[in-house]
Structure 1
Amino acid sequence: MFQFEGPSRKITHHPPFCEMIEEVPISELDPRQIKQLESADELTQRNPTYAREIYGAILTQRPGCLELRKKLRALQINSLQTNTKGLSGLLHKVTSAPFMFKSDDKNPEGTLAKAEGLIDKSPSNVVAHQMLAGAASALGMSGTAVFAYETIQKLEPENLKNLKSLGSAYIEAGNTEMAIATGNSIKKINPNDGDAEEIMKKASVAMAMNKGKWEESEDFRTQLKDEDEAQALEQASKNVNDAKSLEELIRQTYEKVTQEPANLNHYRQLSDYYQRYGDLQNAIAWIQEARKQEAGQGDVSLEEKERQLTAEYFDQSIETWEKALAENPDDQAAQASLEQTRVQKVEYQRTQLESLVQRYPNEYGYRYELGMLLFEKESYDDALPHFQLAQRNAKVRLDAVLHLGRCYSRKGFHDMAIEQFESLKNEIQVMDDRKKEAIYELGCCHESMGNQEKAIEEYKLVYSADISFRDVSDKINAFYESNS
Structure 2
Amino acid sequence: MDVSKLYSKVEEALKKKNYDYAIETLKNQILKFNPNDVKARKLLRATVLEKYKNESPPTASQVWSKGFAPRVKMLFGKISKKWDVVIDEAENFLQYDPKNLSVLCGLGEACTEAGYIDTAISVFENILAFDSSHVPALKSLGRIYRFQKEDLEKAKYYYQRAVKLAPQDNEVSKMVKDLSAQITADTYGQAKSSHDLIKDQEKAKDLEEDNTMLRTEEDYARAIERTAKKLETDPNNRRELKRLGELYQKTGKFDKALEIYNKILEMDPTNSDLKNRIGECRLQKVERQIQTVKDKLDQDPQNESLKQEYKKMLRAKVETEIQEYTNQVKDQPTNFEFRFKLGLSLFQASRFDEALAQFQVAVKDPRKKISAYTYMGQAFLQKKEYDLAIEQFQNALNAQTTKERQYKDTLYHLALAFESAGRTQDAIETYTTIYKEDINFKDVQARLKKLKS
TM-score (norm 2): 0.62
Q: Which residue of 2 aligns with 1:33?
A: none
Equivalent of residue 267 in structure 1, options 233, 241, 257: 241
1:184–1:382 distance in 2 versus 1, CA, 3 Å: closer
Residue type matched to 1:262 in 2? Answer: N
Q: Which residue of 2 aligns with 1:146?
A: 42
Residue type matched to 1:263 in 2? Answer: N
Residue type matched to 1:157 in 2? Answer: K
1:241–1:411 distance in 2 versus 1, CA, 3 Å: same
- Report the Cα distance in structure 2 between the residues aligned to 1:300 and 1:463, rounded to whole angstroms: 47
1:187–1:410 distance in 2 versus 1, CA, 3 Å: farther
Report if the CA contact (8 A) 1:221-1:227 is conserved: no
User: Post-superposition shift, 1:427?
Assistant: 2.9
Q: Which residue of 2 aligns with 1:366?
A: 338
After TM superposition, the structure 1 = structure 2 runs for residues 289-308 of structure 1, keeping only pairs within 5 Å, are: 289-292=263-266, 294-295=267-268, 297-308=269-280
User: Post-superposition shift, 1:394?
Assistant: 2.2
Report if the CA contact (8 A) 1:436-1:462 is conserved: yes
From the two aligned structures, give the one with the greater helix fraction: 2
Residue type matched to 2:364 in 1? Answer: R
Q: Which residue of 2 aligns with 1:429?
A: 401
Report if the CA contact (8 A) 1:443-1:458 is conserved: yes
Q: Which residue of 1 aligns with 2:257?
A: 283
Q: Which residue of 1 aligns with 2:431?
A: 459
Report if the CA contact (8 A) 1:440-1:458 is conserved: yes
Q: Which residue of 2 aligns with 1:477?
A: 449
After TM superposition, the structure 1 = structure 2 runs for residues 166-205 of structure 1, keeping only pairs within 5 Å, are: 182-185=94-97, 205=110
Say whether 1:241 aligns with 2:215.
Answer: yes
- Report the Cα distance in structure 2 between the residues aligned to 1:255 and 1:207, rounded to whole angstroms: 23
1:437–1:278 distance in 2 versus 1, CA, 3 Å: same
Q: Describe the SS at the equivalent of 1:467.
A: coil
1:403–1:199 distance in 2 versus 1, CA, 3 Å: farther
Residue type matched to 2:147 in 1? Answer: F
Q: Describe the SS at the equivalent of 1:366.
A: helix
1:201–1:143 distance in 2 versus 1, CA, 3 Å: same
Report if the CA contact (8 A) 1:460-1:476 is conserved: yes
Q: Which residue of 1 aligns with 2:318?
A: 346
Q: Which residue of 2 aligns with 1:219?
A: 146
Q: Describe the SS at the equivalent of 1:455.
A: helix
- Report the Cα distance in structure 2 between the residues aligned to 1:382 and 1:338, rounded to whole angstroms: 26
**Identical counterparts, % of pairs:** 19
Report if the CA contact (8 A) 1:271-1:282 is conserved: yes
Post-superposition Cα deviations, 1:27-85, rounded to whole Å, max 9, x if no partner, equal xxxxxxxxxxxxxxxxxxxxxxxxxxxxxxxxxxxxxxxxxxxxxxxxxxxxxxxxxxx
1:443–1:204 distance in 2 versus 1, CA, 3 Å: farther
- Report the Cα distance in structure 2 between the residues aligned to 1:204 and 1:479, rounded to whole angstroms: 58
User: Post-superposition shift, 1:235?
Assistant: 0.7
Report if the CA contact (8 A) 1:180-1:200 is conserved: no
User: Post-superposition shift, 1:149?
Assistant: 7.0
Report if the CA contact (8 A) 2:227-2:240 is conserved: yes
Residue type matched to 1:389 in 2? Answer: V
Residue type matched to 2:260 in 1? Answer: W
Q: Describe the SS at the equivalent of 1:184.
A: coil
Instruction: Please report the RMSD computed on the Cα atoms of aligned residues, expressed in angstroms.
Output: 4.5
- Report the Cα distance in structure 2 between the residues aligned to 1:156 and 1:474, rounded to whole angstroms: 37
Q: Which residue of 1 aligns with 2:164?
A: none
Residue type matched to 1:240 in 2? Answer: L
Report if the CA contact (8 A) 2:411-2:434 is conserved: yes
Q: Which residue of 1 aligns with 2:183?
A: none
User: Post-superposition shift, 1:228?
Assistant: 4.0
Report if the CA contact (8 A) 1:425-1:435 is conserved: yes
- Report the Cα distance in structure 1 between the residues aligned to 2:108 and 2:400, rounded to whole angstroms: 26
User: Post-superposition shift, 1:347?
Assistant: 2.0
- Report the Cα distance in structure 1 between the residues aligned to 2:99 and 2:440, rounded to whole angstroms: 28
Q: Describe the SS at the equivalent of 1:400.
A: helix
1:371–1:156 distance in 2 versus 1, CA, 3 Å: closer
User: Post-superposition shift, 1:104?
Assistant: 6.1
- Report the Cα distance in structure 2 between the residues aligned to 1:180 and 1:304, rounded to whole angstroms: 19
User: Post-superposition shift, 1:316?
Assistant: 1.3
After TM superposition, the structure 1 = structure 2 runs for residues 313-328 of structure 1, keeping only pairs within 5 Å, are: 313-328=285-300
1:262–1:318 distance in 2 versus 1, CA, 3 Å: same
Comparing both chains, which one has the higher relative contact order based on Cα–Cα distances under 8 Å and sequence gaps of 6 or more?
A: 1
